[in-house]
Amino acid sequence: MADEAVSVEGLVKRYGEMVAVDNLSLRIESGEIFGLLGPNGSGKTTTINCVLQLLSYDRGEVAVFGRPMTATSYELKRRIGVVPQDVAVFDELTVAENIDAFCALYVPDRRRRRALVAEAIDFVDLGGFTKFRPRKLSGGLLRRLNIACGIAHQPELIILDEPTVAVDPQSRNAILDGIRGLNERGATVIYTSHYMEEVEQLCTRIMIMDAGRQLAIGTNDELKSMIGTGERIRVEIIGTEPLGEDVVEQLRRLGHVRTVDYEIPELHVECTSGAHNLSDVLGVLSGRGVAYGRVTSEPPTLNDVFLEITGRALRDEAA
């Protein structure tokens, strides 16, 4: 129990008839970077808000660091840092004042706070902007300020709700490096995002949820092994004639091949895991005298896993 940063057992949250979180159970170990993935309206933010006691819930138990979490668990709250999805800072205060104002909600001692604020400013690399008001900051700097306000008190559990939305690639990389740095300092991180590649790079374990339920949980590799696709092969056909339907049909009959799509000039083949998938595909093409150029073979991405588990239908933004 002591190694569990967060434990959720049988959590149910309803809005009238709608079930936002449906009997969800979850355990996050200390020191993890835990990714929470799901389409819009899947219940990610609701789950987080229930854990933080920002929302009351209908059933279930939530514990943080082995102790029941309640709205008045101030000692536990001091060990938690939250970076909300919306930038929530004071427009009238400067960068340094903002960080200090939020840090003061956790650390009453002014002297200690001064050191923490300085450290947070260094951490998000806002040293050149300490006297700036938020409206003078770019989107990326504003996000970094939002993060600094959430982590200045050096919490042991950090919850980041889509912290890189609307951030340019340079700032995003800086933020991701920062999160890794926080984890290396011993913090447990819960990270929600729509950006699969971020979660794939960053998280040690990932949970995919939809309709308030846990659909899959595991490491990156474990999740990939849960879906049928083991390898994606792309072949550029460079011959003067398009690929014949008979060649495509022959490829489909190969043992490990799951799907074959051909859109001039590119051939896409999805295979289950197998040692000779690429040579089998190229063997068929060579045997039929098809000339090909660039060939790539890659394992499935988290995006493939996500789409395969949650389905490819569009989701309602307002859900």
Partner 1 sequence: MLTIGSYQVLRLLRDKVLLVWTLAFPIIMSLIFMAAFSALDDSYEADPIEMGVVQDDAYEAAEGFDAFIAALSSEQDGTHLINTHRYATAHEAETAAKNGDTVGYIEVEDGTPVLRVLPNDSAANTVPVLRAALDSYEQTRAQYAALAAQGAGPEQIAAMQVQHVSTQRAQITESPSSPTVRYYFALLAFACGMGMHISMLAVQEVVAGSSPLGARRTLAGIPRWKVLAGTLGAAWLGILVCLLAAFWFIRLVVGVDFGAHTGMCHLAIGVSSLLSCTAGAALGTVRGMRTGVVSGITCLLSLFTGLYGTAAQELADTVQNSLPLLAQLNPLWQSAHCFFSLLYYDSLAPFAHSCAVMGAMACLFLSIALVRMRRMSHEHL
Instruction: Choose the binding region for partner 1 from 28-36, 42-50, 115-123, 213-221 (rule: CB under 8 A).
Output: 42-50
Q: Which residues pair with 14 in a beta bridge?
A: 19
Query: 231: part of which helix (H) or strand (E)?
Result: strand 231-237
What's the rounded Cα separation, in Å, for the pair 152 and 154? Answer: 5
Instruction: Choose the binding region for partner 1 from 30-38, 68-76, 218-226, 297-305 (rule: CB under 8 A).
Output: 68-76
Q: Which of 27, 78, 194, 258 binds partner 1 (CB under 8 A)?
A: 78
- 82 vs 305, beta carbon nearer partner 1: 82
Determine how many CB atoms are found less than 10 A away from the CB of residue 168. Answer: 13
What's the rounded Cα separation, in Å, for the pair 196 and 202? Answer: 10
**Count of residues near partner 1 by CB under 8 A:** 38
Residue 318 Cβ vs partner 1, minimum distance, rounded to whole Å: 12
Q: Give me the helix-helix angle, 245-252 and 277-287, nearest 10°.
A: 150
Residue 307 Cβ vs partner 1, minimum distance, rounded to whole Å: 26
The values of phi and psi at residue 127, to 5°, are -55, -30
Name the nearest CA neighbour of 42 among 304, 309, 302. 309
- 65 vs 262, beta carbon nearer partner 1: 65
Pairing of β 231-237 and β 292-298: antiparallel
Name the nearest CA neighbour of 255 among 278, 267, 271, 231. 271
Verify binding: residue 71, partner 1, rule CB under 8 A.
yes
Verify binding: residue 101, partner 1, rule CB under 8 A.
yes
Q: Which of 12, 19, 66, 93 binds partner 1 (CB under 8 A)?
A: 93
Q: Which of 10, 18, 40, 105 binds partner 1 (CB under 8 A)?
A: 105
Footprint of partner 1 on residues 131-150 (CB under 8 A)? 149-150
Q: Which of 77, 144, 172, 224 binds partner 1 (CB under 8 A)?
A: 77
Verify binding: residue 49, partner 1, rule CB under 8 A.
yes
CA 23 to centroid of chain Cα atoms: 22
6 in Cβ contact with 26 (< 8 Å): yes
* Contact set with partner 1 (CB under 8 A): 15, 45-46, 49, 52-56, 71-72, 74-75, 77-80, 82, 84, 86-90, 92-93, 97, 100-102, 104-106, 108, 110, 149-150, 153
